[in-house]
Amino acid sequence: MSIVNTSAEQRVVFYDVSWETYLVLAAERNRPGKRISYDQGVMEIMSPGMLHENISALIGRMVDAFTEENAIEVCSSAGTTFKRDDLERGFEADASYYIANCELVRSKKEIDLTLDPPTDLAIEIDISRSSLSKFAIYRSIGVPELWQYDGQTILCYILEECGEYAPAAASKVLPGFPFAKARGVLDRRHEVGETALMLEFREYVREQKVK
């Protein structure tokens, strides 16, 4: 077992954990805030702190503002447990969205990855550097796009045809999303209130539509 404890989050990694044990823990609903990832015997339980949750919420609000202003339909899957029994891998993102496949899952109460597509966009707040490689999990499950906040900036990765993630300057699932502006919002969160920041971000998105 290894433990990483910071002001942003606590991550505890367990080794030689059976898939059955993971399924029991993942199904447990009485674990507010905790997110579990599993990769073929290695399981991480992450308990987010205030900083982690604040960053996650702000990025989520910016995604909401961008999709609303551009009339892009989405289906938020938030921290849904996505898992594949055949791969013995599973994850719960900080935020996730169905976009291209929104219509396919809107009426679903549960997601079955043997029948349903994975989320189109997953967002990970990874300030303390997880010792569990989430990329391998997301890649094997086939998540098309991953955004990662590393404590300083938002990084965008797109799943290529070769099956590997490649860094990208622009989003493929949300074309035109203003990463530079979003980073600026996060940088100023200690100086300006969230409502003011979101109003400013939304106005920026509107201006970009006009240009």
Q: Is position 122 within any domain?
A: yes
- Specify the CATH number for the domain of residue 189: 3.90.1570
Q: Is position 61 within any domain?
A: yes
pLDDT at 4: 55
In angstroms, what CA-CA distances link 46 with 19, 31, 139, 196?
18, 11, 20, 30
Say whether pTM exceeds 0.75. Answer: yes
The values of phi and psi at residue 145, to 5°, are -145, 140
Q: Is position 126 within any domain?
A: yes
pLDDT at 153: 93
pLDDT of 131 over the 70 cut: no
Q: Is position 65 within any domain?
A: yes
pLDDT at 117: 97
Residues in the chain: 211
- Residue 33 pLDDT class (50, 70, 90 cuts): confident
pLDDT at 128: 73
Q: Is position 201 within any domain?
A: yes
Residues 38, 144 contacting (CB under 8 angstroms) = no
Enclosing domain of residue 148: 49-210
Query: What CA–CA distance (Å, rounded) separates 73 from 68?
Result: 8
pLDDT of 159 over the 90 cut: yes
Q: Is position 26 within any domain?
A: no
Q: Is position 160 within any domain?
A: yes
Total of domains in the chain? 1
- Give, as one character, the DSSP assignment of residue 20: H
- Residue 1 pLDDT class (50, 70, 90 cuts): low
Q: Is position 1 within any domain?
A: no
pLDDT tens sequence across 73-99: 999 998 999 999 999 999 999 999 999
Mean pLDDT, residues 26-47: 90
**Strand 75-76 relative to strand 42-48, pairing:** unpaired
Which range is least confidently modeled, 7-16, 134-143, 167-176? 7-16
